[in-house]
Amino acid sequence: MSPHASNLGIEMVNLLGAFLLLLAFAMLAARRTLSLIRFFAMQGFFLSASIFIVAFLSGETNLYYSALFTFALKVILLPYILKELTLRLDIQRDIETLVNVPVTMILGIGIVVFSFSLAAPISEAASTVTRSLIGVGLACVLLSFLAMITRKKAMTQIIGFLAMENGLLFSATNATYGMPMVVELGIALDVLIGSIIFGIFFFQIRETFESLDLKFFEKLKEE
């Protein structure tokens, strides 16, 4: 077994996993762009904290770097970029009109049940100390996916997209103690370039459609 495996540590990671899932639900229900960004930053924080604890429990030095990275990218840089964009595009007061929050929530619960049952055979095969959390990671991925489908604003879709990546990273850490360093760096690079591109995109959309509301996106539906 790994050097520092202790019940307390495992309980901590479990708790953080629960927070992550809770925040995924919160994002599903959140209406205001700024609160969504805040939830996203919090999710990033809990994610990096959980990676840090797993690093301590398992003694994998790579994971410390990964935790540091995640913190820099998901807690500081991306929320900053998102907030800056929101202010500069002057959409901080935008309110998403969500249809049927209760139905979305029930769907979300269904997704969690599905993820856990799908992850059960995987967890049994895992040898990591935190293996029971693979289901949580998968649930976060699918919940963010659901959040993206139910949104109509460009900014909120992107936040859902980034939150999805959080869920993936969480699964990777808990199933395997993280992917090889070069792959994790590559993924981080993709996320970073992706965020620059959607930043450019927001301005293009705004310039052409005079709004960031995707309900104006209808031309391509027909032909």
Partner 1 sequence: MLVFFVLGVPIFSSAVMAFTGHRRWASHLNAFLTLGTFSASLVLALEVLRTGPILAWGETFYVDSFNVFLVSLTAFVGFTTALFSGPYMRIEEEKGRVGARILRLYHSAYQIFLFTMLLALLSNNLGILWVSLEGATLATVLLVSLYRTRASIEAAWKYFILCGVGIAQALFGTILLYFAAEKILGSGGTALLWTHLFQIRFQLEPTVLKIAFVFLLVGYGTKVGLVPLHNWLPDAHAEGPTPISAVLSGLLLNVALYALVRGKILVDGALQSNLASHLMIGFGLLSMVVAVFSMIRRKDVKRLFAYSSIEHMGIATFAFGLGGPLATFAALLHMTVHSLTKSSIFFSVGHAAQIAGTQQMEQIRGLMKRVPRLGWGLVLGAFAILGMPPFGVFASEFLVLTMAMKEAAWATPILLLCLAVAFGVIFFRVQNMVLGDASPDRLSHPPALFPVFVHLGLVLLLGVFLPPFLAHWYQQAALFIG
Contact 16, 57 (CB under 8 A): no
Radius of gyration of the chain (CA): 18
161 interacts with partner 1 by CB under 8 A: yes
Cβ 132 to partner 1, closest distance in Å? 14
180 interacts with partner 1 by CB under 8 A: yes
- The stretch near partner 1 (CB under 8 A) out of 48-56, 74-82, 100-108, 153-161 is 153-161
Cβ 206 to partner 1, closest distance in Å? 10
183 interacts with partner 1 by CB under 8 A: yes
> Would you say the C-alpha torsion 72, 78, 83, 84 has a positive or negative sign?
positive
Per the DSSP assignment, residues forming a β-bridge with 32 are 95
Q: Cα(26)–Cα(163) distance, rounded to whole angstroms?
A: 12
61 interacts with partner 1 by CB under 8 A: no
Nearer of residues 24 and 141 to partner 1, judged by Cβ: 141
1 interacts with partner 1 by CB under 8 A: no
Tally of CB atoms within 10 A around 61: 9
Contact 118, 136 (CB under 8 A): no
Contact 60, 192 (CB under 8 A): no
Residue 14 CB burial class (10 angstroms; 0-12, 13-18, ≥19): middle
Number of H helices, E strands in the chain: 9, 0
Contacts to partner 1 from residues 111-140, by CB under 8 A: 118, 121-122, 125-127, 138
Q: Cα(28)–Cα(23) distance, rounded to whole angstroms?
A: 8
- The stretch near partner 1 (CB under 8 A) out of 24-32, 74-82, 83-91, 170-178 is 170-178
Nearer of residues 110 and 186 to partner 1, judged by Cβ: 186
Cβ 15 to partner 1, closest distance in Å? 23
Q: Cα(35)–Cα(94) distance, rounded to whole angstroms?
A: 11
Contacts to partner 1 from residues 185-204, by CB under 8 A: 186-187, 189-190, 193-194, 197-198, 200-201, 204
List residues near partner 1 by CB under 8 A: 60, 118, 121-122, 125-127, 138, 141, 145, 148, 154, 157, 161, 164-165, 168, 171-172, 175-177, 179-180, 182-183, 186-187, 189-190, 193-194, 197-198, 200-201, 204-205, 207-209, 214, 217, 219-220, 223
